[in-house]
């Protein structure tokens, strides 16, 4: 059952988006959504003026960067659901019903950009690396962690403890949500940007990846450190192959290298086993939390 349109607030974080904001708000209104909240980061152009003219509610953010805008938006949201989408015309309001179709069953729904042609090639590579890093460190299997269009249950959003300040906020929200809640994905359209881009592939990509590692350290430290330990298998295997090569082709046995390789392989093997156990325990913990939440919800409905 699709959530009614008046039960969701469409949130548009903005900073100097005068070229796109008017068109984006018009398209959202054409789809029948009236709760439109523009959270502005003190734009120096006519973004705020245009947004007000188009009938959106406009507030100014506190805190730094996009994360500050999202925290501010969450504080001001009164509807049961909120949907965040970038205000640069890249995301299509026609996709919003896809989120509302499944909103009741999930704490977060991420829009996966299926047509990647409008994403610069270097950004596609960066997004792939960031998503793979996120999945490896958190034990998830998400597709587009950097997507700028996603829906949250408001009660879930208000429990978030957002510490980041910039574009990496999407990764932080996802890792916090998947720790105690349920996440799914739906396919969405991705259009050409209107206006000047603000995302630097290398600068923000490194920052997002660093943030993911820090978040993994906080939310699943055993898995992170065990995985890093498992990397010892790589040099250990290389050393073993070198020792074997020297023995087979030259008849020379390097006992010192062989001992070092053995130590690294044992260390890496232990790390691999521990990382697997940590991941299984984390998934078990999540299943237990989900079961308890479902039982609590059923009990509340009975009461």
In angstroms, the CA 173 to CA 137 distance is 15
Instruction: At 248, list the tokens.
Output: 């087979």
User: Residue 221: which of 138, 133, 135 has the closest Cα?
Assistant: 138
Residue 84's pLDDT band (cuts 50, 70, 90): very high
How much of the chain exceeds pLDDT 90, in percent?
A: 58
Residues 6+ apart with CB under 8 A from 155: 80
In angstroms, the CA 265 to CA 263 distance is 6
Is the confidence at residue 263, as pLDDT, over 80?
yes
Q: What are φ and ψ of residue 188, in 5° steps?
A: -135, 165
Q: What is the pLDDT of residues 154-186, one digit of tens each?
A: 999 999 988 877 778 898 899 888 877 889 999
Residue 157: CB atoms within 10 A of its CB come to 25
Average pLDDT over residues 253-259: 92
Instruction: At 13, list the tokens.
Output: 């974080």
Average model confidence (pLDDT) across the chain? 88
- What is the sign of the dihedral through the CA atoms of 108, 29, 32 and 72? positive
Is the confidence at residue 79, as pLDDT, over 80?
yes
Average pLDDT over residues 97-119: 92
Average pLDDT over residues 87-113: 95
Q: What are φ and ψ of residue 147, in 5° steps?
A: -60, 140
User: Residue 188: which of 125, 101, 86, 110 has the closest Cα?
Assistant: 110
What fold is seen in the domain 5-219?
A: Spore Coat Polysaccharide Biosynthesis Protein SpsA; Chain A (3.90.550)
- What is the sign of the dihedral through the CA atoms of 214, 177, 140 and 264? positive
End-to-end CA distance of the chain: 23
Instruction: Output the pLDDT for position 180.
Output: 75
Instruction: Output the pLDDT for position 206.
Output: 75
More confident residue, 161 or 224: 161
C-alpha distances in angstroms, 186 versus 27, 73, 142?
Answer: 20, 23, 11
Instruction: Output the pLDDT for position 225.
Output: 85
Q: Are 229 and 271 in contact (CB under 8 A)?
A: yes
Residues 6+ apart with CB under 8 A from 106: 153, 181, 182, 183, 184
Q: Where are the alpha helices (DSSP H) in 116-232?
A: 121-138, 154-157, 169-180, 201-219, 221-230
């Amino acid at each position: 059952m699709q959530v009614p349109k008046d039960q969701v607030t469409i949130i548009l974080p903005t900073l100097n988006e005068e070229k796109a904001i008017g068109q984006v708000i018009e398209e959202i209104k054409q789809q029948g959504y009236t709760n439109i909240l523009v959270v502005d980061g003190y734009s120096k152009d006519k973004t705020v003026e245009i947004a007000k003219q188009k009938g959106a509610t406009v507030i100014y953010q506190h805190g730094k960067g996009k994360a500050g805008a999202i925290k501010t938006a969450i504080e001001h949201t009164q509807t049961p659901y909120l949907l965040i989408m970038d205000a640069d015309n890249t995301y299509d309001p026609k996709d919003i019903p896809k989120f509302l179709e499944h909103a009741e069953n999930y704490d977060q729904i991420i829009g996966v950009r299926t047509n990647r042609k409008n994403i610069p090639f270097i950004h596609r590579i960066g997004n792939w690396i960031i998503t793979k890093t996120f999945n490896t460190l958190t034990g998830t299997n998400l597709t587009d962690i950097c997507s700028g269009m996603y829906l949250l249950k408001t009660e879930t959003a208000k429990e978030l403890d957002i510490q980041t300040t910039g574009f990496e906020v999407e990764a932080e929200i996802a890792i916090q949500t998947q720790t105690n809640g349920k996440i799914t994905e739906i396919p969405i359209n991705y259009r050409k940007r209107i206006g000047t881009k603000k995302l630097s592939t290398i600068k923000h990509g490194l920052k997002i990846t660093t943030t993911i590692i820090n978040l993994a350290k906080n939310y699943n430290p055993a898995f992170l450190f065990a995985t890093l330990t498992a990397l010892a298998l790589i040099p250990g295997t290389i050393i073993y192959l070198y020792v074997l090569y020297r023995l087979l082709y030259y008849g020379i046995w390097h006992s010192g290298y062989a001992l070092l390789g053995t130590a690294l392989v044992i260390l890496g093997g232990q790390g691999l086993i521990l990382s697997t156990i940590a991941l299984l325990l984390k998934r078990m913990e999540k299943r237990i939390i989900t079961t308890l939440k479902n039982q609590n919800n059923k009990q509340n409905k009975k009461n």
